[in-house]
Structures are given as structure tokens and as C-alpha cells.
Copies of this chain bind each other. A is one copy, B any other.
């Protein structure tokens, strides 16, 4: 059993790296198994299709990212400082990825949204759930900041969507220009989108 579940993990991990490098469509099951170092026969023991594998990759990646986001966004720091940390960690994560593989790989969810959401409904639905959850986590912090009168945005849901959209847009540019410094303006842009009352202080405080 130890070896069996090990093979599943190896396939998942190889698939995630390959999808980040080359996208989903360009990959074949044989190539994934070769990179994972497992016989091709074992693939279909764990996954009924390449789509099932993609869904498992999304789930595993979101499990990890959700924990990281929760650690930052549910901490006992002040709400705006928590948002600041989220961008700081995003930039650090993309920088680490660039150092290990030479290029900024961007956001797996954004990448697959643009590549796959119009091809397969199960992947579209899963990605919608993930982005809904991200927006909800960000909204809850914005709501706290608004209760403290630190931000003035009238619509916390729309503001959270704008922040996540800005994040996806700047991560797209960080990937395209292979330059993580593209992510530095995220914090100032976030404050502007939220109508922060004292942006300069908030920046200095973070």
C-alpha cells in the first residue's frame, strides 16, 4: 500500500510540474508517467482519465494554497496588514518558482482557466469554486477593515473580486515578462481599489 500511494503522489507531482511548465493540452499520459517514474499501466489504476488527473492536481494545489492563504488571512494581525502579507507571499512564491525552474510559472488556476475552461465543464466548475473561495477569503478581511473604517469600498464582494482580478492580471504580466517585480505594485493597487482611508500610513505600517 505504501508503494501504491507513493505512485499516485509521484504522478500528481509530475503532472503539476509539467502543467505549470507546458500547460495541459500539450501533455500526454505517457510523458507524465515517464516523468513520474511509474509504469503507464498504473496511471489508469489511480485516474480514470487525464481530466480526472487535472482535477486531482487542482484539488491538491488548492489544498496547499488554501492553507497558506488561511494562515496569512486569518492571522491576528490587522486586516490590511494581512492583505499585504498575501501579496508578499505571492511574490515570494513566484520568485522561488523562477529560481528553481528559470521562468515565472504564474498561477496554475489562472493558467488553466484560460487554457481549459471552455473545453471541459468539470474543470471550469472546479476553477470557479476555487476562485469563489479565494474571493470569499479576501472579502472577509475587507469586511473587517471596513468595520474598522480603514477602507471605504461600498461593495466588499466586488472589491474582493477586483483585488483577486488585479492579482491574476499582474501575475499574468510577471509570467509574460518573466519578472516578479511586476508584482510589487499589487499592494498600492489594492489600497486604491479598496478606497483605503490613509494609504500612505497603511503602506508604512505594512
Interface set of A (CB-CB < 8 Å, partner B): 21-23, 25-26, 103, 105-106, 110-111, 113-115, 117-119, 124, 127-128, 131, 158, 161-162, 164-170, 172-173, 175-178, 182, 185, 188-189, 192-193, 195
In Å, the complex CA distance between A169 and B197 comes to: 25
Instruction: Quickly give the copy total for this chain.
Output: 2
With a CB–CB cut-off of 8 A, which chain B residues contact A115? 23, 111, 114-115
Q: Which residues of B contact A105 (CB under 8 A)?
A: 118
Those 9 A-B pairs whose CB atoms lie nearest each other, nearest first: A165-B169, A169-B169, A25-B26, A25-B25, A168-B169, A113-B176, A111-B114, A162-B189, A165-B170
In the complex formed, the residue of B with least CB distance to A107 is B114
Indicate if the CB atoms of A164 and B158 lie closer than 8 Å: no
Contact A161 B176 (CB under 8 A): no
- A93 → chain B closest CB, angstroms: 16
In the complex, the answer to whether B175 meets A164 with C-beta atoms within 8 Å is: no
Chain B residues in 8 Å Cβ range of A182: 161
Alpha-carbon distance between A178 and B192 when the two chains are bound, in angstroms? 27
Are A127 and B176 touching (Cβ within 8 A)?
Answer: yes
Known: A25-B26, A165-B169. 15 other contacts (CB 8 A): A22-B119, A26-B26, A110-B114, A114-B175, A117-B175, A118-B175, A124-B178, A128-B177, A131-B176, A165-B166, A165-B170, A167-B169, A169-B172, A192-B192, A192-B195
